[in-house]
Amino acid sequence: MKKTRLSLIAFLIVLPFVFSNCKKDSSTSITAKMSASIDGASWSAATTSATDGTAFSISGVSASGTVITISIYDNLKVGTFTLSKYSFGVATYLENDFGYTTNATSEAGGDLIITDVNSTVHTLTGTFSFDVVGLTNGEKKSITNGVFSNVSYK
């Protein structure tokens, strides 16, 4: 009887420690990605962000500091959005203190396609492709094969 009692006490002491290590992992790790080709060269964002308000924007910054930002003056939703001088959408590319935009001339422009808006975890997924023109130098750059996935928005 004494041996059973000691086993029961030992079991009751150890039991809380066993179940404390069996907690469900409540953190969900979602990896945001954003990449494109700029004049044929690979580009990828080291950090991404997005905002939603009276307009929404998606932005990525590469490890070297180049930045792609796309802003749409519309509600955040799945769909295709035009980026041009004559639309409510604009894309910008910043490189070495030079700014390029889809709003500079009628030669610039492209599309943003949002394929998923996950309002539960607040993420965006989609594609983009556009031409931008330098604000000061008039140089044209082609940004193609753009894709972003699971970019968090606020």
The whole-number pLDDT of residue 117 equals: 95
pLDDT-based confidence at residue 21 (cuts at 50, 70, 90): very low
Q: Is residue 110 part of a domain?
A: yes
Distance (Å, whole) CA 101 – CA 135: 7
> So what's the pLDDT on residue 4?
37
Q: Is the pLDDT of residue 3 over 70?
A: no
In a domain, 6, yes or no: no
Question: How many whole angstroms separate alpha carbon 109 and alpha carbon 91?
Answer: 8
User: 145: left (phi > 0), else alpha (psi -120 to 50), else beta?
Assistant: left
pLDDT digits (tens, 9 = 90+) for 107-136: 899 999 999 999 999 999 999 999 999 999
**How is residue 120 annotated by DSSP?**
T
On whether residue 119 sits in a domain, the answer given is yes
Q: How far is CA 6 from CA 16, 19, 147, in A?
A: 17, 21, 63
Rounded-to-integer distance, Cα 60 and Cα 70, Å? 9
Say if 45 falls within a structural domain. Answer: yes
> Can you tell me the distance from the alpha carbon of 125 to that of 41, in angstroms, rounded to the nearest whole number?
22
Contacts of 29 (CB under 8 A, 6+ apart): none
pLDDT tier, 53 (very low <50, low <70, confident <90, very high otherwise): confident
In a domain, 116, yes or no: yes
Give the structural domain span for 148: 31-152
| pLDDT 10s digits, 76-96 | 999 999 999 999 999 999 999
Domain membership of residue 24 (yes or no) is no
pLDDT tier, 6 (very low <50, low <70, confident <90, very high otherwise): very low
Q: Whole-model pTM?
A: 0.79
- Considering the domain boundaries, does residue 15 fall inside one? no
Please state the domain count of the chain: 1
126 found inside a domain: yes
C-alpha distances in Å from residue 23, one per residue of 14, 29, 92, 137 = 16, 17, 45, 58
